[in-house]
Amino acid sequence: MLASKIGGNPADVGYYVQVTPTARRAIMRLSWIGVAVMTVLMLWLDNYGALAQKSGGILKMPDFASPASMSIHEEVTRAAVTVLMPVFNNLVLFDQHKERNTIETIVPDLAESWAWSEDGKELTFKLRHGVKWHDGKPFTAADVKCTWDLLQGKTPDKLRLNPRKAWYRNLDEVTPTGDDEVTFYLKRPQPYLSGLLASGVSPVYPCHVSPGADAAAADRHRPVQVRRVQAERICQAHPQPRLLEAGAAISRRARIPDRRQRRDA
């Protein structure tokens, strides 16, 4: 309400506004309504933006260091494993949408199904048919055998570093049956072998690319990146939504130069 004129010096002429308790409550009520409306609007805009997003594109994220190489079988640091795990494909993988890794959360990747023998010493994988490396060569059971022979040190070619060789001390032999089936034969039962294979750091390498290939050759023969589709794990009662369809697969062995190294002038 408009109050009386300020008293005092006649030259000081002015007016002041006195807000009654009723008016103050009305102003506070309007302020709270305004905050509520703005909150609802912001939430709606946020949801609308999420719905409007499209799949695909490029995701850029910072990292504290560069991996020493692009060969995940030769790397153990988080700088390498975090970057390379999404690049390669494994036979099986822990479901990345589950909070805990258990045998029950293992889902297909390059293998579409798997089964243990009764004595627990044979693990057989049925492989996806039609998967190709980037150079067009088919992915087969021979690639699986070559990879684990390499990890066990049985091949003429050797990895520069082999930090997970001890994982497979109980592995006796990897034997393909045709192009789409492979069996891991163990010296004694080892139920958690499937967990090692599902860890995300046990990918398949291409048999036709030497681990000693130079960067240019490795870049020409980048293997398996398999696009994700729904797949059904036949040893489960319910279908598992996940994984792949036939397509090119990814892997790179090109060595990344360390730009922090001193260079001659």
The model scores a pTM over 0.95: no
More confident call, 147 vs 44: 147
- The residue extents of the domains of the chain are 1-53, 72-249
Tell me which of 46-50, 71-75, 202-206 is least confident. 46-50
Residue 87 pLDDT > 90, yes or no? no
Average pLDDT of span 33-61: 68
Query: pLDDT tens digits, residue range 123-149?
Result: 999 999 999 998 889 999 999 999 999
Show the DSSP H helices in 75-140 as ranges. Answer: 78-84
Of residues 60 and 223, more confidence is placed in 60
Superfamily classification of domain 72-249: Dipeptide-binding Protein; Domain 1 (3.90.76.10)
> Which tens digits make up the pLDDT trace of 206-257?
998 887 664 444 433 334 433 332 333 233 333 333 333 444 443 433 333 3
Helical spans, DSSP H, in the chain: 21-52, 78-84, 141-151, 193-197, 215-220
Exposure string for 187-226, b = 16+ CB within 10 A, e = fewer: eeebeebbbebbbbbbbbbbbebbbebeeeebeebbbbbb
